[in-house]
Chains A and B, each alone.
Chain A
Amino acid sequence: MKFISKYRRHKFATPVLLLVALSALGFTFSAATAAPNQSAAAASARSTLIEEGKEIFLKGCSSCHGLNAEGAAIAPALIGVGAASVDFVVATGRMPMQDMSQQAMRKAPVYNEEEVAALAAYVASLAHGPRAYTNEEIEWERDGNTAEGGELFRNNCAMCHNFAGQGGALTRGKYAPTVMGVEARHIYEALITGPQAMPVFNDKIITPEEKLSIIKWIKSAEAEPALGGASLGRVGPVTEGLLVWTLGLGLLIGIAVWLTAKAR
């Protein structure tokens, strides 16, 4: 206490005290307001996103999937499917469905990226499920291995999606779509969620690195030029055979007719 009484009339006492008091006030204020403000801002942004998503859901999806995404006779429940599923089916235009046919097909997306993110946030808020990915997160170019990806593709994907990734027929009008021109994040999300008839390939069965390899192989197949020009759909002997049997045989018949025609 002697210390205080000795210096309290010192000429620097007032400015120092003022500085200390002000800094203490400032720090307390920033500690009290800034930190909770940040998380509160994020939380409120997320809840706004969820609110927006719910809005879109109620307008665009609930007639089939139910007001609380609980599902109905014509559509499955979406509780627990996660943001990955929503991002895959909505951003590729598969949902909302064009018609109640065998399978939702790829088309121009109805919702833009922000609306998809909002919908995904809403569905993800219902229950835990696989999260959505961005294309930047999926570093297939850096971490993938094309040769390994090819082996994985032939073993796990080629039976449905065709050995050149062109897609193929399944039973009763269903089909496996082509994987050419699909965004990396959608391939990744399809693998982890198993949309529609496709089975799930989770990270224990096909590791995340192996998934990147598969994507890298798909991208390399996509970039492969058609040396012969017309690739005839890259589906192998069916179109090639059709061409040979019609155009090729027709040409041969024409030559045979010319050979036996008498010159005038």
Chain B
Amino acid sequence: MSKELEPLADPGLPEHVHRKADIDPIAAKRAERQVAVLFSLSAAGTLLFMYSFFFIKEDLFVFIPVMGNTNAQQLGIGLGVAFGLLFIGFGAVHWAKTLMPDQEVIAYRHTLRSEEEDRGEFVKAVKIGAEEAGLGRRPLIKRSLFAALGLAGIPAVVMLRDLGPLPGNSLNETNWKTGTKLVTDPGERAIKASDLEVGGVAQVLPELAPGKKRTLEDIAKDAVLLIRLRPVEFQLTAERLSWTHEGIIAFSKICSHMGCAVALYEQTTKHLLCPCHQSTFDVTRAAKVIFGPSARPLPQLAITVDADGYLIAKQPFTEAVGPSFWERKS
């Protein structure tokens, strides 16, 4: 029986240690002053804010070590607001910690379930209430109330409509049509094949019908990068080679990964880099993905020249530009 465990004795609560301010009136006075200083600092901060806002010239710069030349007004406003709010908090916390009552209170735990008697009383009260409201006797009120409650939920469902409308076919289409002229972005100037030299690039957009205004939604799909290489540098299929014109090749600028604008063209390596996730495309091999998370090459735009020598689209994009979406066909 010697192995029987002794129940652990309840150690009780540790002895309450009084704060200095509780026992020493000088310390209490000191704490009081500290709180007052903190609150005064807050007031000073607010005054600094007002002074900076109204009286410091907005083009005045002062040198602050580490920060460098800093605008004095902005600095004063920022520090003023920060001090004004922060020191109210610091003062309040210091007050509570040093001077406010410091008794230890024991909160005992009880069972959560109510007494049987109270539970019975509650059920009885609900039943009486329902009886007095007379819902059973007045079906008209009951039905109209339920109808009103049911209808009140509908606006929440209707507001989901604002998530739409569905894009329809618009993700598969761009403003590039057969024969659309390539124009510079910005500037909207038509480009001749001879305007672009080897090693050069041009950011282009489709020429819009007169009177039509270009929207950001248009640019988000239409943006194209024009690059000129030496024709011998291409390693393309015969079809893709026929989409180029004298070494000029055109790709959608919208990354097939997440839709960032891919236009970091390195003339030395003929690589196109997407700045967002570092997908790298090889221009000489029809924008084949050679690094990074992108799943598909950038769509190539077939180009040729019209009778006046201006670059035009030979046909629309043959696939959807930009990142994947559920209804994407390819």
In the assembled complex, B71 has its CB within 8 A of some CB on chain A = yes
Checking A155, A159, A197 against B267 with a beta-carbon cut-off of 8 angstroms, the contacting residue is A197
Q: Is the interface of A mostly helix, strand, loop or mixed?
A: loop
State which of B61, B184, B267 has its C-beta within 8 Å of the C-beta of A198: B267
Cβ distance B128 to chain A, nearest Cβ, rounded Å: 50
Task: Report chain B residues within 8 Å CB of A264.
Answer: 19-20
CB under 8 Å from chain A, chain B span 131-184: 184
Q: Which of B109-117, B196-204, B238-246, B298-306 sits within the interface?
A: B196-204
Q: Which residues of A contact B196 (CB under 8 A)?
A: 202, 204-205
Q: Is B106 an interface residue (CB 8 A)?
A: no
Distance between A251 CB and nearest chain B CB, rounded to angstroms: 10
Q: Please tell me if A151 contacts chain B, counting CB pairs below 8 Å.
A: yes
- In A181-223, the 8 Å CB interface with B consists of 194, 196-202, 204-205, 207, 210
Task: Please give the distance in Å from A2's CB to the nearest CB on chain B.
Answer: 71
Chain B binding surface, main DSSP class: mixed
CA of A174 to CA of B273, assembled, Å: 12
**A160 and B19 contact, Cβ closer than 8 Å, known pairs A171-B280, A202-B200:** no
Check if A259 is an interface residue, CB within 8 A of chain B: yes
Q: Scan A148-187; emit 1 where CB is below 8 A from any B CB, else 0.
A: 1001100110011000000010111010100000000000
Give the number of A-B contacts (CB < 8 Å). 102
Let me know if B67 is at the binding interface, CB within 8 A.
Answer: yes
Interface check A230, CB cutoff 8 A: yes
Chain A residues with Cβ below 8 Å from B319 are: none
Give CA–CA (A168, B264) in the complex, Å.
10
B32 contacts partner chain A, Cβ-Cβ < 8 Å: no
Task: Specify the chain A residue showing the minimal Cβ separation from B291.
Answer: A171
For residue A74, CB closer than 8 A to chain B, the reply is no
* Alpha-carbon separation in the docked complex, A228 to B62 (Å): 11
Q: What residues of chain A lie closer than 8 Å to B74, measured between beta carbons?
A: 227-228
Indicate whether A238 reaches chain B with its CB closer than 8 angstroms.
Answer: no
With a cutoff of 8 Å between Cβ atoms, the chain A residues found around residue B265 in the complex are 199
List which A129-145 residues lie within 8 A (CB) of chain B. Answer: none
Asked whether A229 is an interface residue with its Cβ less than 8 Å from the other chain, the reply is yes
Complex contact B70–A194 (CB within 8 A)? no
A233 within 8 A of B: no
Binary flags per residue of B55-78, CB closer than 8 Å to A gives 1, else 0: 000000100101111110011000
Bound Cα distance A66, B186 (Å): 41
Q: Known contacts being A199-B200, A205-B200, A259-B93, is A170 close to B273, with CB within 8 Å?
A: yes
**Chain B residues in 8 Å Cβ range of A148:** 186
Query: Is A15 at the interface (CB under 8 A from chain B)?
Result: no
Chain A residue at minimal CB-CB distance from B272: A171
Of residues 18 through 77 on chain B, the ones whose CB sits less than 8 Å from some CB of chain A are 19-21, 61, 64, 66-71, 74-75
Question: How many angstroms from the CA of A227 to the CA of B199 in the assembled complex?
Answer: 40
- Across the two chains, which residue of chain A brings its CB closest to B58? A227
In the assembled complex, A254 has its CB within 8 A of some CB on chain B: no
Bound CA span A225–B184, Å = 32
Contacts of B184 in A (CB 8 A): 205
A227 to B76, CA, bound (A): 12
Judge whether B200 and A200 touch: CB under 8 Å: yes
**A32 sits at the interface (CB 8 A):** no
Taking CB atoms, residues of chain B closer than 8 Å to A258 are 93
Give the docked Cα–Cα distance between A199 and B68 (Å).
36
Q: Is A4 an interface residue (CB 8 A)?
A: no
Measured CB to CB, the closest approach of chain A to B175, in angstroms, equals 17
- CB-defined contacts of A225 to chain B, threshold 8 Å: 61, 69, 71
If A156-B203, A205-B202 touch, whether A229 touches B20 (CB-CB below 8 Å) is no
Q: Does B101 contact A (CB under 8 A)?
A: no
Q: Are A155 and B200 interface neighbours, CB within 8 A?
A: no
Q: How far is the CA of A170 from the CA of B269 in the complex (A)?
A: 11
Top 7 closest pairs, chain A to chain B, by CB = A229-B70, A229-B67, A204-B195, A200-B200, A263-B97, A197-B266, A199-B201
Extra contacts, 9 of them, besides A155-B203, A200-B201, A205-B196 (Cβ < 8 A), are A168-B275, A170-B273, A200-B198, A200-B200, A231-B68, A258-B93, A259-B93, A264-B19, A264-B20
17 residue pairs A–B, Cβ–Cβ below 8 Å: A155-B185, A155-B186, A159-B263, A170-B273, A197-B268, A197-B269, A200-B198, A201-B200, A205-B191, A205-B195, A205-B196, A205-B202, A210-B187, A227-B71, A230-B67, A263-B19, A263-B21
A residues whose Cβ falls under 8 Å from a Cβ of B: 148, 151-152, 155-156, 159-160, 168, 170-172, 174, 176, 194, 196-202, 204-205, 207, 210, 225-231, 258-259, 262-264
